[in-house]
Structure 1
Amino acid sequence: MAHRTRSVLVVEDDPVINQAVTDRLTAEGYAVTQAWDGPAAVAAHGEHAPDVLVLDVMLPGFDGLEVCRRVQATRPVPVLMLTARDDEADVLVGLGVGADDYLTKPFRMRELVARVGVLLRRVERAAELATVPTAARPVLELGDLRVDVAARRTWRDGTEVRLTPTEFDLLVCLAADPGTVVTRERLLAEVWGWADAAGTRTVDSHVKGLRAKVGADRVRTAHGVGYALEPGGTS
């Protein structure tokens, strides 16, 4: 059975970049809708229900962070955020409002296409797991953390923690072997599907976002190597 064409909403106020991204994604087989400012982006999201957003941070009307807040509140969707500054604070704010990944300008089109593909595959895997009967779903119990893998839900001390899709996959990868250090390269391969180590900064940014939600004591840093999820919380 043929898969339906996946749709992407490209939100970028620079017409050259917007058209270049649109042309490349169209060539890759995606159905692309364009928007150039914040209000138009929210309207297009409501009208077209895209499978993924490629979203610039700096936009007229209101910025990409506000766009992300509004669309995630109405219909959650994977978001790849484009930022002109490689500023960690900006990145963490973006991840905090629901973005799943980010690219710093200037970027390679090949990398953008790869990241869009990773986000879509993550959604597809989640949909497949959701069909698993509740009784057969794997549930991880790690001290005060409870992770329902198929439902993609996480609780700490009985209170649900809202994780982005990327943060959830990162947590599951670390939770597969509690206490064991997982290298940044392995995390990139298993969570992002990247074959090289060019995006280790991306791992670090998402780990910081994850720590803010599940507790700084839960994710241990092995400096220069990677991260480990501690089996039990100390807080």
Structure 2
Amino acid sequence: MAQHLAIVDDEPDITQLLGNYLQAQGFRVTPLHSGRALIDMMREDPPDLVLLDLGLPGEDGFSIARQLREHWRCGLVIVTGRGDAIDKVVGLEVGADDYVTKPFDLRELLARIKAVLRRLAPPAAAPESGGSSECLQFAGWRLDAAARRLVSPAGQEVTLTSGEFDLLLAFARHPGRVLSRDFLLEHTRGREAGPYDRTIDVQVGRLRKKLEPEAETPQLIKSVRGAGYILVPPVSSAS
């Protein structure tokens, strides 16, 4: 079955251009022109991924993004003409998987859409004879790579966006090693960092708020000035 994409933009020319291109790539596409239309559709026919413009008339695109993250699990790529660094940071902080500014190359947008969908795809079932899912444990936290679940030391499941989960998994697979922003972007987004790219910094900040008792003085994921980040505690395979 074709994967379902929702394109939310108040400019019909944009939704038509993207819709025609993405349909030709094998996707099922629903063009929408308001946040309310998107929320209504999420209840009836939720898409696998939403392409969301921030500049919708009378609506705050960031508020719509927050609603998506609070109530549904889908890919979210913000596609907007607002290219300020602050807008990008806020977009990632509210849980967007990626942020693309207009004008954009259709092929690059397609590659980013596919990258997000790959991260969201359920893992292939393991063969019945042998093979076990990857579960990693550190400082009492349990990370199940196959089920894409994070469980706290208290036994509570903690909700992560697809980008946050992939970032934490990269750290857990390389404990005690300083990981550069380029390395983390390549392993979580499939691309290199651009000038002033703060994607990883924002995602690390969000992870710290969910993992650390005091995010301002992190003990699990520490910064290494001029080099990147490191997951400090040892990691073991969880039974």
Could you state the TM-score of these two structures normalised by the residue count of structure 2?
A: 0.80
SS at match of 2:57: coil
- Which of the pair is proportionally richer in helix? 1
SS at match of 1:53: strand
CA distance in 2, matches of 1:166, 1:90: 18
CA distance in 2, matches of 1:21, 1:59: 17
Task: State the partner residue of 1:151.
Answer: 147
CA distance in 2, matches of 1:78, 1:21: 17
1:1-235 maps to which residues of 2 (within 5 A)? 4-124=1-121, 126-128=122-124, 136-158=132-154, 159-194=156-191, 196-198=192-194, 200-215=197-212, 216=215, 217=218, 218-231=220-233
Do the aligned partners of 1:161 and 1:214 also contact (CA within 8 Å) in 2?
no
CA distance in 2, matches of 1:228, 1:104: 30
SS at match of 2:198: helix
CA displacement 1:60-83 (0-9 Å, x = unmatched): 353323333334444311111234
Shift of 1:120: 1.1
CA distance in 2, matches of 1:224, 1:174: 18
SS at match of 1:170: helix
CA distance in 2, matches of 1:8, 1:192: 19
- Percent identity (aligned): 38
Do the aligned partners of 2:78 and 2:98 also contact (CA within 8 Å) in 1?
yes
Shift of 1:88: 5.0
SS at match of 2:124: helix
Which amino acid is the alignment partner of residue 11 of structure 1? V
Shift of 1:23: 2.7
Shift of 1:39: 0.6
Do the aligned partners of 1:130 and 1:151 also contact (CA within 8 Å) in 2?
no
SS at match of 1:167: helix
Aligned CA distance change for structure 1 residues 87 and 212 (closer, same or farther; 3 Å)? farther
Which ranges of structure 1 fall in alignment gaps of 5 or more residues? none
Aligned CA distance change for structure 1 residues 128 and 32 (closer, same or farther; 3 Å)? same
CA distance in 2, matches of 1:110, 1:53: 17
CA distance in 1, matches of 2:128, 2:176: 28
CA distance in 1, matches of 2:86, 2:43: 29
Shift of 1:11: 0.5
Which amino acid is the alignment partner of residue 55 of structure 2? M
Could you state the TM-score of these two structures normalised by the residue count of structure 1?
A: 0.81
Shift of 1:130: 8.9
CA RMSD of aligned residues (A): 2.8
CA distance in 2, matches of 1:35, 1:47: 14
